[in-house]
């Protein structure tokens, strides 16, 4: 399995939505809301591997109440939001630096590949997105709460 530094913050949700300029552009019922960060040096292989890990991650309860089911198993939906701020560097001073985040061209390409890979696994109707580079308002009702970070960095 490839080493990837892309970062996905996966939040199990009963519902989620994203709004741009007062218009809701994506919304889901039960499933996951994912904040996705792309780092300089990330690859297409990393985007595909992270998408595979995402759809197979067992964070939903089975009949016994154990986290033993994936989004594949539950039929839930995914809302993916690009978020370069996941790579904020706050080691020096009080103002975050985003030097580790990928340049917009690379980040958008890998964000699109990640979402396309999710759609290939789950079907196009089960994956919603925000708008890359836009100022977005994200709402979610975190279920559990369950929040998992996927990365090998």
The residues that are catalytic are: 83-85
Is 26 within 8 Å of 129 (Cβ atoms)? yes
Is 130 within 8 Å of 20 (Cβ atoms)? yes
């Amino acid at each position: 399995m490839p080493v990837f530094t892309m970062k996905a913050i996966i939040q199990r949700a009963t519902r989620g939505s994203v709004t741009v300029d007062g218009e809701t552009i994506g919304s889901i019922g039960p499933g996951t809301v994912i904040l996705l960060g792309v780092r300089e040096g990330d690859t297409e292989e990393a985007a595909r591997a992270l998408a595979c890990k995402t759809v197979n991650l067992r964070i939903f309860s089975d009949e016994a109440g154990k986290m033993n089911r994936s989004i594949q198993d539950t039929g839930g939906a995914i809302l993916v939001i690009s978020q370069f701020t996941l790579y904020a560097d706050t080691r020096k001073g009080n103002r975050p630096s985003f030097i580790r985040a990928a340049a917009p061209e690379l980040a958008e390409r890998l964000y699109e590949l990640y979402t396309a890979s999710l759609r290939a696994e789950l079907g196009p109707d089960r994956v919603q997105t925000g708008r890359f580079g836009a100022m977005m308002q994200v709402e979610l009702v975190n279920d559990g709460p369950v929040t998992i970070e996927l990365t090998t960095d």
